[in-house]
């Protein structure tokens, strides 16, 4: 049997260990971005793409996007290059990730709608993103309205 004083000391010790352990647990930090490094990779990717080095351009755009996922232009360029390579599901995934960080970027909505409609035949997704594109975009209002009307007929 443990004497009451010893039990109290042990209880205080374990309580101290528990509280100290909780206090020393680091708080999760937000993911850091490297805009400068990403910018340089985007520049290199664009140059590689212009030279016809698609594989290199894809790798550099991917690296840039992982360094700074907030950059909608990088997401858009990467997705368009993936589309040109016939990698439609990957392109959609990149566009969706881009929209998580830049939900009001009209080009991301537009390209997501186009790839969904023309390549994946996902008319519901296409319609949703054409509508969002129309809300965000001032240009091409009548043309986009026609695309939306056409999709609405096909979805029904």
Q: What is the pLDDT of residues 77-107, one digit of tens each?
A: 999 999 999 999 999 999 999 999 999 999 9
Output the pTM of the full model: 0.75
Q: Is the Cβ–Cβ distance between 82 and 58 less than 8 Å?
A: yes
Q: Residue 143's pLDDT is what?
A: 85
Q: Residue 133's pLDDT is what?
A: 95
Q: Which range, of 37-46, 90-99, 142-151, averages the lowest pLDDT?
A: 142-151
Query: Above 90 in pLDDT, residue 48?
Result: yes
Q: Which range, of 28-37, 57-66, 95-104, averages the lowest pLDDT?
A: 28-37
pLDDT tier for residue 30 given thresholds of 50, 70 and 90: very low
d(CA 28, CA 145): 45
Q: Residue 29's pLDDT is what?
A: 36
Q: Is the Cβ–Cβ distance between 76 and 65 less than 8 Å?
A: no
Q: What is the pLDDT of residues 5-20, one digit of tens each?
A: 445 444 444 444 344 4
Could you give phi then psi for residue 147, rounded to 5 degrees?
-60, -40
Q: 22-60 in b/e burial notation, b at 16+ Cβ within 10 A?
A: eeeeeeeeeeeeeeeebbebbebbeebbeeeeeeebbeb
Among 113, 153, 118, 117, CA closest to 133: 113
* Superfamily covering domain 37-155: Tetratricopeptide repeat domain (1.25.40.10)
């Amino acid at each position: 049997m443990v004497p009451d004083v010893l039990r109290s000391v042990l209880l205080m010790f374990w309580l101290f260990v528990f509280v100290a352990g909780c206090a020393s647990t680091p708080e999760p930090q937000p993911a850091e971005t490297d805009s400068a490094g990403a910018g340089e990779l985007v520049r290199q990717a664009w140059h590689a793409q212009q030279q016809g080095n698609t594989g290199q351009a894809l790798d550099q755009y991917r690296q840039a996007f992982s360094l700074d996922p907030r950059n909608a232009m990088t997401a858009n360029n990467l997705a368009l290059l993936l589309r040109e390579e016939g990698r439609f599901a990957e392109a959609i995934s990149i566009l969706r990730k881009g929209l998580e960080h830049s939900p009001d970027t009209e080009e991301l909505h537009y390209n997501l709608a186009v790839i969904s409609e023309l390549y994946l035949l996902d008319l519901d997704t296409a319609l949703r993103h054409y509508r969002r594109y129309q809300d965000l975009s001032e240009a091409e209002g009548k043309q986009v309205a026609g695309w939306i009307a056409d999709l609405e007929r096909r979805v029904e």
